[in-house]
Structure 1
Amino acid sequence: MSINLHGRNVLSVEALDPGELRFLVQLAGDLKVAKRCGSERQQLFQKSLAFLHGRELPFLRAAFELAAHDQGAHVICIGPEQYAKAAPGEIRQMAGMLGRIFDAIECCGLADDVMAALAERAGIPVYNALSRQCDPCQLVADFQTMREFTHKHLSDLTLSVVGNGRVSDARTLAIGAAKVGMDFRLVSPKDLWPDHQFVDSVKAEAWKNGGKFAVLEDVGAGVLDADFIYASRWVSHEEEDTRNDRAVALLTPFGVRMATLEATGNPHCKFMRFVPDFIGHHAHKSASEETGSPDASRNVLESKASIVLDQAENRIHATKAILVATLAH
């Protein structure tokens, strides 16, 4: 089946069918190989791209700018001071203006309704780099990374996400895993499980694609035989500057330690986490040098099982894959 994403928005994982998601993962891998071999071909020469951000997330901005640069495109960054107090009608008018100036827009940290308004009126591809509900670009990077560290197909993998089950990275991974037919376990305190509607929807999608989906509170059962353990964020990026003692108390037993990796019974199990958090993110300001961060101990982060640096690199290639798939002719 031929995959054609030209001119498409990429605002959520739900909007991608399983074939399209696999296509983007494969394209990201191909573009990475081409760059490393020195054979990359610029397919976005003289394209103009807008990076519209609601907060400063330097790593995500850098990944977008590098991906665009490699493909010959130019990036203009537009911060919240330009639109934060705009009324809905003004947002729609701004979308029309941006659509006349740019070839595509990447949104980072924007509200979902703002992105929807941009996508409706801009007339050019709009991408979601990170929102409260979803981060499709990071999902492509994560699946690309998984493929690099296992001989298995995505549909044969067991992925355990440990931490807060309600934040965007956990939800995004759950939906993506269901689309490609993984055995997916969300391991979280019961008070932080996703809502029933979300769980039922993902279970149905997983069943349709030959996968499994389970939500568990028992860490040992949740990580048994896992190929990958993924530390989910403890708080959403909107809440990271506020202290939530209750969430910390609930999640403390769910921090990934070496014992967690050993509980898988799989000596080849790899450790992953939400990439922007890896670069001194606010959510981990209280972490000590000895413990590393709340969601993972330092010896896990620095172990041979950790592939967070590969995730970070692959964010660039995943971003590039989305750009090329939607903009190149």
Structure 2
Amino acid sequence: MRHFLWLIDYTKDEIKEIIDLGFQIKKETKARVFKPYLKNWQLAMIFEKSSTRTRVSFEAGINQLGGNGIFLSSRDIQLGRGEPLKDTARVISRMVDMVMIRTFGQERLEEFAKYSKVPVINGLTDLCHPVQLLADLMTMIEFERFDFENPQKTTVAYVGDGNNMAHSWAIMAGLLGFNLRIATPEGYEIDDFIKEKALEFAKISGAKIEFLHNPALAVKDADVVTTDTWVSMGQEDEKEKRIKDFQGFKVTSELMALSNNAIFLHCLPAYRGYEVSEEVFEAHAQEIFQEAENRLHAQKGLMVWLGKQQKN
């Protein structure tokens, strides 16, 4: 049985299989063909951390695959009233076929998976956001900014906080072999363990991964520019300090002009005037909202892929 807890557990070939499935199912969806790949499967969706895109994409996705989504917040189940996580995992996984969890700590996700009898998907933790990277990768391919056969032709620039999105980009680059420059303010660099793993993978894939403090150097001749909010959920008390510390890291038209006619990606929600200007956001709205839609299709590909592993 396979879980999808973070990208470190996956190979380049496995990621390609998931992405290819996502494209196949997206094509069918656009033609209004809904094949029951997961007929009568039950997906438990546990939200300790709220979300718009994760909720809608997983629930619509499992429904379109012939299954059913069960929404569970920490207010609705014993998990929020002190029941040990391992007991919740033992109970829920005996009643459903797959579980998606969106939570704060990676360790909570991993503990749940340890005791689960069914595949567990990471819908986001503070450490990483792997399902978002599947959608981002699909979008890069659609806009002809990435090719599995020639990954080193692609350079991605990430500008902003060294958070779960930066971590996910680092691991994906290391695994697939595209070049990545991560520019963060001093004191907001990515986790050392993630950095080490990304560079370890890069030695094999041929990726060139750089960690910088200068957005202009990161964006220079990049094919893809991406960012994320400066103030994630749970960091509201740090808002004023973060806004001050991140001055100079807003993605503006002047910064984008340094790129190689790059597409711009944002996992949303976006706060115009902070991490990205209104002008850049609206100029690249097609890419951003296609990326958001691809959460649905990439996650359907992932669920079907995990379902196949379960059946095997």
TM-score by length of 2: 0.92
1:221 aligned partner: 217
| Alignment partner of 2:49 out of 39, 55, 72 | 55
| Alignment partner of 2:226 out of 230, 247, 257 | 230
Other structure's SS at 2:251 match: coil
Structure 1 portions without partners, runs of 5+: 1-6, 279-283, 285-291
Partners of 1:176 and 1:194 in 2: CA distance: 14
| Conservation of the 8 A alpha-carbon contact between 2:140 and 2:146 | no
Residue 71 in structure 1 maps to residue 65 in structure 2: yes
Query: What is the CA distance between 1:308 and its match in structure 2?
Result: 0.7
| Structure 1 residues 236 and 304: alpha-carbon distance in aligned structure 2, compared to 1, 3 A threshold | closer
Partners of 2:167 and 2:206 in 1: CA distance: 19
Task: List per-residue Cα deviations over 1:9-55 (Å, max 9, x = no partner).
Answer: 10111111121112212221121111112334111111111000103
Which AA in structure 2 matches 1:170?
A
Partners of 1:143 and 1:95 in 2: CA distance: 31
Query: What is the CA distance between 1:304 and its match in structure 2?
Result: 4.3
- Higher mean alpha-carbon deviation, 177-186 vs 117-126, is at 117-126
Identity %: 23
Other structure's SS at 1:107 match: strand
| Conservation of the 8 A alpha-carbon contact between 1:270 and 1:306 | no
Task: List per-residue Cα deviations over 1:93-128 (Å, max 9, x = no partner).
Answer: 111111111001100124222212211112100000
1:190 aligned partner: 186
1:158 aligned partner: 155
Partners of 2:198 and 2:14 in 1: CA distance: 18
| Conservation of the 8 A alpha-carbon contact between 1:163 and 1:251 | yes
Other structure's SS at 1:139 match: helix
Partners of 2:178 and 2:68 in 1: CA distance: 37
1:13-162 aligned within 5 A: 13-81=7-75, 82=77, 83-87=79-83, 90-150=84-144, 152-154=146-148, 155=151, 156-162=153-159
| Structure 1 residues 106 and 305: alpha-carbon distance in aligned structure 2, compared to 1, 3 A threshold | closer
Task: List per-residue Cα deviations over 1:109-167 (Å, max 9, x = no partner).
Answer: 242222122111121000001100111111100000000001641512110000012x1
Which AA in structure 1 matches 2:205?
N
| Structure 1 residues 223 and 116: alpha-carbon distance in aligned structure 2, compared to 1, 3 A threshold | same
Query: What is the CA distance between 1:236 and its match in structure 2?
Result: 3.2
Query: What is the CA distance between 1:258 and its match in structure 2?
Result: 0.5
2:243 aligned partner: 248
Query: What is the CA distance between 1:78 and its match in structure 2?
Result: 1.1
Other structure's SS at 2:290 match: helix
| Alignment partner of 1:271 out of 259, 264, 274 | 264
| Conservation of the 8 A alpha-carbon contact between 2:134 and 2:298 | yes
1:259 aligned partner: 254
1:312 aligned partner: 292
Partners of 1:107 and 1:197 in 2: CA distance: 23
| Alignment partner of 2:175 out of 163, 179, 194 | 179
| Conservation of the 8 A alpha-carbon contact between 1:158 and 1:183 | yes
Partners of 1:92 and 1:244 in 2: CA distance: 34
| Conservation of the 8 A alpha-carbon contact between 1:132 and 1:238 | no
Task: List per-residue Cα deviations over 1:166-204 (Å, max 9, x = no partner).
Answer: x10111111111100011000111221124443233122
| Structure 1 residues 152 and 120: alpha-carbon distance in aligned structure 2, compared to 1, 3 A threshold | closer
Query: What is the CA distance between 1:306 and its match in structure 2?
Result: 5.4
Query: What is the CA distance between 1:253 and its match in structure 2?
Result: 0.5
Structure 2 portions without partners, runs of 5+: none
2:283 aligned partner: 303
Partners of 1:151 and 1:298 in 2: CA distance: 23
TM-score by length of 1: 0.88
Partners of 2:135 and 2:191 in 1: CA distance: 26
Partners of 1:197 and 1:124 in 2: CA distance: 28
Query: Size of the alignment, in residue pairs?
Result: 304
| Conservation of the 8 A alpha-carbon contact between 1:168 and 1:236 | no
Runs of 4+ aligned structure 1 residues displaced above 6 Å come to none
Partners of 2:191 and 2:305 in 1: CA distance: 33
